């Protein structure tokens, strides 16, 4: 089984932009062949949040509107 990682989005379920694209790709993958992993913000995705067959890894991000997204990189 191959792993596919998505890095740099704010979180799932999507709120807009790149998040929606990643959500569409991840939900359309064949889960028997691929294990999707999404690295997302700890400020957007609450602790314990889960999505079926998708591993969510919360990354510590800086607070604030402007530093939040850039600290994912």
CB 40 within 8 A of CB 22: no
Q: What is the mean pLDDT of the chain?
A: 85
Please state the pTM of the whole predicted model: 0.81
The domain total for the chain is: 1
pLDDT tens profile 37-47: 998 888 888 99
- The terminus-to-terminus CA distance of the chain in angstroms comes to 26
What's residue 43's pLDDT? 85
pLDDT tens profile 6-27: 887 888 887 788 888 988 999 9
Domain hosting residue 43, numbered range: 2-70
Place of tokens 């989005």: 9
Overall average pLDDT of the 62-69 stretch: 74
Place of tokens 């919360």: 58
């Amino acid at each position: 089984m191959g792993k596919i990682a998505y890095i740099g989005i704010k979180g799932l379920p999507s709120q807009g932009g790149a998040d929606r694209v990643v959500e569409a790709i991840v939900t359309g993958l064949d889960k028997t062949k691929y294990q999707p992993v999404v690295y997302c913000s700890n400020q957007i995705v609450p602790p314990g949040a889960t999505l079926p067959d998708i591993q969510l890894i919360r990354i510590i991000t800086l607070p604030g509107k402007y530093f939040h997204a850039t600290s994912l990189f």
